[in-house]
Chain A
Amino acid sequence: MASTADTWARHQWYETGVWSWVTTTNHKRIGILYTSTSLVFFVVAIAMAMLMRTQLIVPNNTLLGPQAYNQAFTMHGTTMVFLFGMPILSGFANYLVPLMVGARDMVFPRLNALSYWTYVAGGIVLYASFLAGGAPDAGWFSYVPLTSSTYSPSSGMDYWCISIVLLGMSSIAGAVNVLVTILVLRTPGMSFNKMPLFVWATFVNQFIILVALPSLTAAAIMLYLDRHYGTSFFNPDTGGDPLLWQHLFWFFGHPEVYILILPAFGMVSEVIPVFARKPIFGYSFIAYSSVAIGVLSFAVWAHHMFPVGMSLTAQAVFAFTSYTIAVPTSVKIFNWLATLWGGSLRLKTPMLFSLGFIGLFVLGGLTGMSLAVVPFDWQVSDSYYVVGHFHSVLFGGTAFGVFAGFYYWFPKVTGRMLDERLGAWNFWLLVVGFLLTFQPMHVLGILGMPRRIYTYADNMGWNELNLLSTLGGYVIAVSLLLFIWNIIKSVRSGREAGPDPWDGWTLEWATSSPPPEHNFDRQIPVRSHRPLWDEKNRR
């Protein structure tokens, strides 16, 4: 007699159409769900950015009032970090990690599905705030006492707190899943020093998530309790400490930026050797530098707090650790450059974005080094210099890395190639838009323009740079529209990709595009970190 489970499994409605996506536990489908949902949130966040930049295009503008502007930058930041940046990287990890380690799925498929749907729930809660009297408006890092019930009486901050708790749960569950998958489901022969560098980067990344997210989750719960249940974690009038919020937040917040950049490092480490037709230079150094970044990322958080009144000793220590963390990142950059040197470069779109990543991320990294100099940081804290810096590293770094990965692995996911000409336009417009939008912000910051202001007076000397920055934003928007058009066009009628369109070297290229549900039909021995190369060139 068939079991209930068998009957359930064989029932057609359970496995077809939209319902099959709602109930899926397959890592590839969940990866696609994560990526698609995060791209929707990306468009929403970009729309908010366009509103903000348009408000600032001329002095004394009246497109957005101060309340609306505050909500815009808060939701833009929160959405970009928690609803786009982290989930899209989870999408890549979900899809690729089992394929790259030779597994059939994640070790906990239902937990994987729970991670995705809890992320969706977190996004719904955050955006439900618009219907409940207004979105949160105190900035994406929600400093107390501004976010206390005294100064933020509306419910927007409560929606932010609950949303952050849900998103934290989603990320932690996902991290457990990915870590255990990498630890126990690697195919025989794939030791740690034969793993793809994207898997290395993801492994360290998920460890950072596991350690850092609980700090934010705890802080959000504490803030909610302070707002509604009379506790005094952060209220100095009743024995609390507002600086405690900053420590808890940035203990998460600085590792967070490495959560956002490490997978991009991993993607670029996969793309560059394939398109330079050379093995990666210094595989071990790139792998271990990821570990070093993961460890050091927990030792620098207070460089976000230099002006709060910490002791000079504390400031010196965090300045020193902030300089130190540039070392493993520089190791990666030198290894990528050494890989390119003497290579036979194929300047396809994934490679263009990888090269752009190196150049633009270095720009942002250099301004980060300047911010580690304490007296300089005192001058430019909370100015547009900081806004320019973190957009340079996150847009020039994470976004360009994600684009490189997207163009590289899109053929594997869909079986079709993205259009190269549209890709090249996408890339060059994005480079121009990036430079026009974010580099003037460094000058604006030095000229004294604070961040988070909804307008400025005519005689501050900021007019031309703001105009330039906004025009750059429009160029970015055009580039993103081209990207969306490229996806739609290519999914419908793109050139068929075949299993290995780039002549790649890692296991995901050893199966069809898109892969079958069980991922692999045949076994490939793993003797190095380039198993497919070894098979193609075995003597």
Chain B
Amino acid sequence: MDEESKKEQSMRRGSGSALNAPAAIETEAHSECEGQEHASPRAHSEGHAPGSHKTSEHSIWPVVLSIGLLLLSLGLLNHSVVAAIGGVVILVAIVGWLWQPWVSA
């Protein structure tokens, strides 16, 4: 199997996997972005600093979406205005989630 095919196989199998050989950091960077959620093209082109291992981005949108679900739930049980606010928060969170360029550094 030639080097290209090995890299390609590594990309498919090893996306997100840390146990790729050190020489494949650049490939690993690309495969991590694929294996994680929406990687922005910029992440690919900027690449990763050699030896850089930071993997986990932070994101406000999961907790915002959950707050929206909580408000929607409590609103259904108590007051429709609260439910409406919850619905708006959910929509904002979904848009924010999709809009957030997901960068694994």
Chain A positions within 8 Å of B, measured between CB atoms, are 3-6, 9, 14-15, 20, 22-27, 29, 102-105, 107-111, 113-114, 116-118, 120-121, 124-125, 128, 132, 155, 158-159, 162-163, 165-166, 169, 184-188, 516-524
B42-A3 in contact (CB<8A): yes
- A188 in complex: contacting residue of B13, B59, B69, CB < 8 Å: B13
Chain B positions within 8 Å of A, measured between CB atoms, are 10, 13-21, 32, 35-37, 40, 42, 53-63, 65-67, 69-70, 73-74, 76-78, 97, 100-103, 105
A159 and B37 in contact (CB under 8 A), knowing A14-B58, A103-B16?
Answer: no
Contacts of A121 in B (CB 8 A): 66-67, 69-70, 73
B70-A113 in contact (CB<8A): no
Q: Beyond A104-B17, A163-B73, A519-B55: 9 further Cβ-contacts under 8 Å?
A: A5-B40, A22-B63, A105-B56, A107-B16, A109-B59, A110-B61, A121-B73, A125-B73, A166-B73
Can you list 28 A-B pairs, Cβ within 8 angstroms, ordered by A? A3-B40, A4-B101, A5-B100, A5-B101, A5-B103, A22-B60, A23-B59, A24-B56, A25-B62, A26-B55, A104-B17, A104-B18, A104-B32, A104-B55, A105-B16, A107-B35, A108-B37, A114-B65, A117-B63, A118-B69, A125-B77, A166-B70, A186-B13, A187-B14, A188-B13, A188-B19, A519-B55, A522-B19
Closest Cβ–Cβ distance, residue B39 to chain A (whole Å): 11
Complex CA gap A68/B15 in Å reads 53
Contacts of A9 in B (CB 8 A): 57-58, 103, 105
Closest Cβ–Cβ distance, residue A449 to chain B (whole Å): 36
Contacts of A185 in B (CB 8 A): 15-17, 35
Closest Cβ–Cβ distance, residue B74 to chain A (whole Å): 7
Contacts of B62 in A (CB 8 A): 25, 110-111, 113-114, 116-117
Complex CA gap A186/B70 in Å reads 35
Complex CA gap A111/B77 in Å reads 26
B58-A518 in contact (CB<8A): no
A23 and B58 in contact (CB under 8 A), knowing A3-B101, A102-B19, A105-B16?
Answer: yes
A523-B21 in contact (CB<8A): yes
Contacts of B56 in A (CB 8 A): 24-27, 29, 105, 109, 517
Closest Cβ–Cβ distance, residue B55 to chain A (whole Å): 5
B70-A524 in contact (CB<8A): no
A188 and B14 in contact (CB under 8 A), knowing A23-B59, A523-B20?
Answer: yes
Q: In this complex, what residue of B is CB-closest to A531?
A: B19
Contacts of B73 in A (CB 8 A): 121, 125, 162-163, 165-166
Question: Closest 10 CB pairs between A and B?
Answer: A117-B66, A518-B53, A113-B62, A26-B56, A23-B58, A114-B62, A121-B70, A520-B18, A523-B19, A187-B19
B55-A105 in contact (CB<8A): yes
Q: In this complex, what residue of B is CB-closest to A22?
A: B63
Interface core residue of A3, A114, A120, A158 (most chain B CB under 10 Å): A114
A184-B66 in contact (CB<8A): no
Closest Cβ–Cβ distance, residue B95 to chain A (whole Å): 14
A125-B74 in contact (CB<8A): yes
Closest Cβ–Cβ distance, residue A434 to chain B (whole Å): 36
B63-A113 in contact (CB<8A): yes
B40-A518 in contact (CB<8A): no
Closest Cβ–Cβ distance, residue B82 to chain A (whole Å): 12
Q: In this complex, what residue of A is CB-closest to B65?
A: A114
A188 and B17 in contact (CB under 8 A), knowing A9-B58, A23-B60, A105-B55?
Answer: yes
Closest Cβ–Cβ distance, residue A10 to chain B (whole Å): 10
A124-B14 in contact (CB<8A): no
Contacts of B78 in A (CB 8 A): 132
- B59 in complex: contacting residue of A110, A516, A522, CB < 8 Å: A110
Complex CA gap A128/B102 in Å reads 35
Contacts of B61 in A (CB 8 A): 110
Closest Cβ–Cβ distance, residue A30 to chain B (whole Å): 10
Closest Cβ–Cβ distance, residue B45 to chain A (whole Å): 11
Complex CA gap A125/B61 in Å reads 20
A519 and B18 in contact (CB under 8 A), knowing A105-B55, A162-B76?
Answer: yes
Contacts of B66 in A (CB 8 A): 114, 117-118, 120-121
Closest Cβ–Cβ distance, residue B89 to chain A (whole Å): 12
Contacts of B105 in A (CB 8 A): 9
Complex CA gap A478/B73 in Å reads 37
Contacts of B10 in A (CB 8 A): 188
- B58 in complex: contacting residue of A24, A132, A163, CB < 8 Å: A24
Contacts of B53 in A (CB 8 A): 516-518, 521
Complex CA gap A158/B77 in Å reads 7
Contacts of B60 in A (CB 8 A): 22-23
Closest Cβ–Cβ distance, residue B49 to chain A (whole Å): 13
